[in-house]
Amino acid sequence: MPPSTEFTPGLTVRGIQPPLRLADYRLIAFDMDSTLINIECVDEIADAVGRKAEVAAITEAAMRGEIADFKESLRRRVALLRGVRVADMERIYAERLRLNPGAQELIAAARAAGLKTLLVSGGFTFFAERVAARLGIDFARANVLELADGQLTGRMVDQPWGDIVDGAMKRDTLLATCAQLGCAGAQAIAVGDGANDLPMMAAAGLAVAYHAKPVVRTQAHVAIDEGGLDRLLEVVRP
């Protein structure tokens, strides 16, 4: 990547010449946790069994890119969630989960410009499906937590597309969605904050880091460090 330039305070660009046009893209893909929403869901679920600090430490290391095997790190974290009740997750959704500033505005602008929207998360369908519905997102993929008698078992359920949404699956999902829409990855925008977002960001024509880890900021075309997601509209005009 070429050197970065501060476009406006808290908004950095590199390797592109703004302004760009939303209408030149066909798809915008988002990570969920700490990107579209304000929390890391796995950490908040762990809080219900008194293990938030332990799980959050693993999450933070994974997002910084310090854990090479995301799948194994997620299995370790999910195993610690055994015994959490569905009612606990309902409370997390109702009381702790909030959309990040500008999420609704950016998605509305993208949809108005004719883009399709994708949520692809290393988190869980319990939250991802609800967030996608709230925002009117067209496509969503996330991991499924296994339940028995209204409680988490500490395992995930394999899906027809694979076992866990990791960085490679995020990239493959973005490219498969582009193929479904009849466009190339170059016509996609990818927005994320952690190391497991880097593969899909590399496959997209425009990579956007939102309040991201340093390893992600340095590889993005646009880095939003202050303000909401809708600040992307200062660079990619409706």
Flag whether 73 is in a domain. Answer: no
Flag whether 24 is in a domain. Answer: yes
Domains identified in the chain, total number: 1
Question: What pLDDT, on a 0 to 100 scale, did the predictor assign at position 91?
Answer: 97
| Tens digits of residue pLDDT in 78-103 | 999 999 999 999 999 999 999 999 99
Q: Which two tokens stand for residue 222?
A: 């646009």
Separation between Cα atoms, residue 151 and residue 194, nearest integer Å: 29
Terminal-residue alpha carbon distance, the chain: 25
Q: What is the CATH number of the domain that holds 230?
A: 3.40.50.1000
Task: State whether residue 137 is helix, strand or coil.
Answer: coil
Separation between Cα atoms, residue 20 and residue 34, nearest integer Å: 25
pLDDT band at 2 (very low <50, low <70, confident <90, very high): low
The residues annotated as belonging to the active site are 31, 33
| Tens digits of residue pLDDT in 178-229 | 999 999 999 999 999 999 999 999 999 999 999 999 999 999 999 999 999 9
Beta strands 11-13; 5-8: pairing state: antiparallel
Flag whether 82 is in a domain. Answer: no
29 touches 19 (CB < 8 A): no
Write the DSSP string, 58-76.
Answer: HHHHHHTT--S-HHHHHHH
Separation between Cα atoms, residue 204 and residue 200, nearest integer Å: 6
Flag whether 54 is in a domain. Answer: no
Flag whether 191 is in a domain. Answer: yes
Flag whether 211 is in a domain. Answer: yes
Flag whether 62 is in a domain. Answer: no
Place of tokens 């310090």: 66
Separation between Cα atoms, residue 187 and residue 24, nearest integer Å: 7
Flag whether 57 is in a domain. Answer: no
Write the DSSP string, 191-204.
Answer: EE-SGGGHHHHHHS
Residue 28 lies in domain:
5-39+99-237
Gyration radius of the chain's alpha carbons: 17
| Tens digits of residue pLDDT in 143-185 | 999 999 999 999 999 999 988 999 999 999 999 999 999 999 9
| Tens digits of residue pLDDT in 16-69 | 999 999 999 999 999 999 999 999 999 999 999 999 999 999 999 988 889 888
